[in-house]
Amino acid sequence: MKKNILFLFVLFFFGCSSQNQILLNLDTAKKLVQNYYESGEFDKECSTPIEEAKKELQKLKLNEKSLVVFDIDETALSNYNHTKEIGFGYVYSLWEEWLKKADAKAIPEVKKFYDWLIERNIKVAFITGRNEETYQATLKNLKDQGYVKFDTLITRNSSTKKIPAAEWKAQEREKLVNKGYEIVACIGDQWSDLVGGNTGIKIKLPNYLYIIE
Ligand SMILES: [Mg+2]
């Protein structure tokens, strides 16, 4: 997550035409976002696409190589506490420090979905835009939050960090397929987690904190 982040709360537009836009005060917008995350609305909005995907997965003939790809930030783990602490923004150095603390909490609906997959012997892989310097902290954070069983955790390294997110994730999925996995679903909070080949069922979670393009 780097410079190409747009913070959604900066502008809230009501109406569709450019002549009909209402600009919200930034403090008001932040309060709306905070309320959304802290009132249970966020969890509710996560559960809908997950429940739909579970129904679709139950219709498939799965095997021992069936795999679901999870994104990490704002998917398996929530960075909401950090984002809120810094006043809903993004500072690269603080972000890196936060990741190294390994203190992000599991998103409950996503963790339940993970448990549901593990119970059914469906394999899990994590593909995250986090860089390899945070690999150990990320591994610890995942395990501490109960994501203990998975086949692989893939982070960015120096040779892949400049590739656009969607392209890089598609490349990594292709490598998994070449290893014999059958990707039956992908879950992520960004469309860049879900475009390109080898996605299977796409599970798009809400994210009102930032966009990665
Ligand atoms: Mg994410």
What average pLDDT score do residues 132-154 get? 98
For a pLDDT cut of 70, what percent of the chain falls above it?
91
Distance 141 CA to ligand 1 centre (A): 15
Per the structure, how many domains does the chain have?
1
Residue 79 has pLDDT above 90, yes or no: yes
Distance 20 CA to ligand 1 centre (A): 32
Tokens 């598609």, residue located = 170
Q: For 172, how many CA atoms within 13 A lie in the half-sphere containing its CB?
A: 29
Q: Report the CATH number that the domain containing residue 124 is assigned in CATH.
A: 3.40.50.1000
Least confident of 3-12, 69-78, 144-153, 204-213: 3-12
* Structure confidence at residue 212 (pLDDT): 87
Range of the domain at 153: 5-212
Distance 175 CA to ligand 1 centre (A): 20
* Structure confidence at residue 168 (pLDDT): 97
**pTM of the predicted model over 0.75:** yes
Taking each helix axis from N to C terminus, what angle separates 41-59 and 26-38, rounded to the nearest 10 degrees? Answer: 50
